[in-house]
Amino acid sequence: MAKSKLNFALSLLSPPAAELLRSLTSAEKERINEIRLRRRRSLSVSINDTEYFISDTGMQLSHENVYRVTDDDMIYTYRSALKNSIHAFEREISEGYVTSDGGNRVGFCGRAVLNGKSIASIDDISSINIRIAREIDSCGDEFYRDLSLRDYPSLIIAGPPSSGKTTFLRSLCCKLSEKKRIALIDERNELAAVSAGVAYNNVGSRTDIFTSYTKRAAIMIAVRVMSPQFIVCDEIGGSDESEAFEYAICSGVKLIATCHASSFAELYERPVVSELIRRKAFDYAVILGTGRDRGQIIGKKVMREVPVSIC
């Protein structure tokens, strides 16, 4: 049996911490979406929007008699996530997270070491959060059928943190690649979970994967050499990305992307995204919910009301 996403996450933990989580019931483990370590404080897991502390007897809301994360636990997990090679992950460390085997995201915070105004590295790690990647093949199926009836339009998928944007995007990419050629811009290797050139997440049969490129470089190269019909990418909004998106769209390539925003009003406040919307880069926008609505569309909107063309 293939190694599960949770097992990949547990392999990053020290043996004492991992053993406590392995002792949880199967039903509890299947629902975990985050594992959080806070130095010399409580080990916890999140299920939807509720955080539970871990003790010898299982999960609980109280912090009494729970497992306390040691300095050794923190060092073990940090080194495991970086595969004992800090220099190989300098860019990721400066941005506060890496993507580990299995596609799980490992975020951390501590004391920032600055180079001018930029973060060069992070020392004295105080918290680590492991977000479990989820593959839900049926996620977005109904919406995909809706897109197919509209000749597969361009799309922006918005939602707050932990709304399931990446899972929704991965599922949509997989479905779309049954019909269309896709260039998947997987900057943090969260979507495809590529190792040694092999994608361990199912992202579809007509998908070409660009891992660890900047979005700008990947999009420009993809359009020039892979002739995609769609570009799919996660978390757009960088100030250096606009030119690449414009180049792709003016080359006849459609875009499906995600962005952090809890509402359509907030979506319009994102400078790069709002400019792309103004120039009609997207035909539709959807908002995803959190909690029990995680990964579910709670709002849809046609984005064609402004008569300005991008080209």
- Model pTM? 0.73
* Closest to 130 measured CA to CA, from 290, 14, 3: 14
What the chain holds in terms of domains, given with CATH numbers, is: 5-131 (3.30.450), 141-302 (3.40.50.300)
Residue 59 vs residue 188, higher pLDDT:
59
Name the residue among 254, 309, 248 with its Cα closest to residue 277.
309
* Cβ atoms 268, 244 nearer than 8 A: no
Higher pLDDT, 299 or 207: 207
Question: What average pLDDT score do residues 200-222 get?
Answer: 93
Q: Which parts of 187-280 fold into alpha helices (H)?
A: 215-225, 242-250, 264-268, 271-278
User: Strand ranges (DSSP E) for the chain?
Assistant: 34-38, 44-47, 50-55, 58-60, 97-99, 105-115, 118-131, 155-159, 182-186, 194-195, 198-199, 207-211, 230-233, 254-260, 284-288, 297-302
- Residues 6 or more apart whose CB falls under 8 angstroms from that of 159 comprise 165, 258, 260, 261, 262, 287, 288, 289, 290
Tell me how long the chain is: 311
Q: How far is CA 252 from CA 186, 230, 240, 262, 310, in A?
A: 21, 9, 21, 29, 11
The average pLDDT across 258-274 equals 92
For residues 286 and 156, what is the distance between their CA atoms, to the nearest angstrom?
A: 7
Looking at residue 1, what is its pLDDT? 32
Q: Round to whole Å and give the CA distance between 299 and 285.
A: 8
Predicted local distance difference test score (pLDDT) of residue 200: 82
Are the C-beta atoms of 258 and 191 separated by less than 8 Å? no
Pairing of the two strands 44-47 and 297-302:
unpaired
Identify whether the C-beta of residue 33 lies closer than 8 Å to the C-beta of residue 9.
no
For position 138, what pLDDT does the model report?
A: 56
Instruction: Provide the 10 A C-beta neighbour count for residue 2.
Output: 7
Rounded mean pLDDT, 122-138: 81
pLDDT on residue 206: 96
Q: How confident is the model at residue 92 (pLDDT cuts 50, 70, 90)?
A: confident
Give yes or no for residue 173 having a pLDDT over 80. Answer: yes
